[in-house]
Amino acid sequence: QVTRKFRDEPKPRFGLLRSREFYMKDMYSFDTSPEAAQHSYHLVSGAYCSLFQRLGLPFVKVSAATGSIGGTVSHEFQVPAEIGEDRLVLCPHGHFAANVETLREELSSCPACGTKLTQTRGIEVGHTFYLGTKYSSVCKAVFYSPENKPQLAEMGCYGLGVSRILAAAVEVLSVEDSIRWPSLITPYQLCFIPPKKGSKEEEEEGAVLLEQLYDSLSQALPHLAGDSVLDDRTQLTIGKRLKDAQKLGYPYVVIAGKKVCEDPPIFEVWQQNTGEVLFLTKEGVIELLSKVQI
Ligand SMILES: [Zn+2]
């Protein structure tokens, strides 16, 4: 389940990274044997890894302290970042990764290959715990075996910080003066910028041509239709609106600029995540956007 949580956080900070209200995904697993429970644990950890990969977020899975939750095995999913509150040690070859909290003594080289460990800070975005029977024994969470004997359920507990993933993604992917979003969670994929009121491009039907582009796009790629914003503040120059669009980080900005008066009309497309600017016909824009995953 994904729900809103409230925590009496003594030091809320870093915007959404540490706040008193946040969204979290929670999950518990109940199995009939330790082997089955470990299998569930691996399935969920694997799903978390592929989630972060699909988001395009750099992350490390580190062994973690079980803390107040308890249990025997625990991993954190950490996004390396300067402002992170956790300290991590990593083998550069990927053999070993741990939250410093878990180490009983200073560890300077990888237990597997002996390479010097590197230190980094991380933002915790997910946590998994193998709980065993710690809670099922207290709460008497039993099931009946085929021999009709009551047995304690083997449990696991899993969490993803939904609002924190958003904040961490913005933190690590963005550049100096503008936001960068993972394509899968960007609020909008596209921003359309029609010509300025009273400009030559407006007289030459630039706004109408842009609207026709949007209509064709909605037909060809209906999943993008609701993922688009029209910046119709046409009292502002295109340049001013483009600046705003760059700050907000729409992955694609489609502009009816000077070349919209050509035959066929050419649209200017800013691909923010790569920094490229393309000049494309209507068909070219649709072709480009057909590759977008949402
Ligand atoms: Zn190593």
* 97-99 and 154-161 beta bridge pairing: unpaired
pLDDT score, position 7: 85
Write down the pLDDT at residue 217: 95
Ligand 1 centroid vs 96 CA: distance in angstroms? 6
Query: ipTM for the complex?
Result: 0.97
Distance of CA 132 to the CA centre of its chain: 30
Backbone torsions φ then ψ of 215, nearest 5 degrees: -60, -45
- Separation CA 286–CA 294 (nearest Å): 15
Distance in Å, CA 97 to ligand 1 centroid: 9
Per the CB < 8 A criterion, the answer to whether 256 and 201 are in contact is yes
The one-letter amino acid code at 71 reads: G
Ligand 1 geometric centre to CA of 92 (Å)? 7
Tell me, in angstroms, the distance from the centre of ligand 1 to residue 63's CA. Answer: 15
pLDDT single digits (tens) 206-263 = 999 999 999 999 999 999 988 999 999 999 999 999 999 999 999 999 999 999 999 9
| Per-residue pLDDT at 252 | 96
Domain range summary for the chain, segments of one domain joined by +: 2-173, 183-289
In this predicted structure, the answer to whether residue 288 has a pLDDT above a threshold of 80 is: yes
pLDDT tens by residue, 264-282: 999 999 998 888 999 999 9
Q: What is the pLDDT of residues 81-94, one digit of tens each?
A: 988 889 999 999 98
State which fold the 183-289 domain adopts.
Rossmann fold (3.40.50)
| Residue 104 pLDDT level (bands cut at 50, 70, 90) | confident
Residue 270 in tokens: 């800013």
Query: In CATH terms, is domain 2-173 a member of 3.30.930.10?
Result: yes
Cα of 263 to ligand 1 centre, how many Å? 60
What token pair was written down for 1?
A: 């389940």
What is the DSSP pairing of strand 252-255 with strand 190-193? parallel
* Residue 61 burial (C-beta neighbours within 10 Å; 0-12, 13-18, 19+): middle
d(CA 91, CA 11): 32
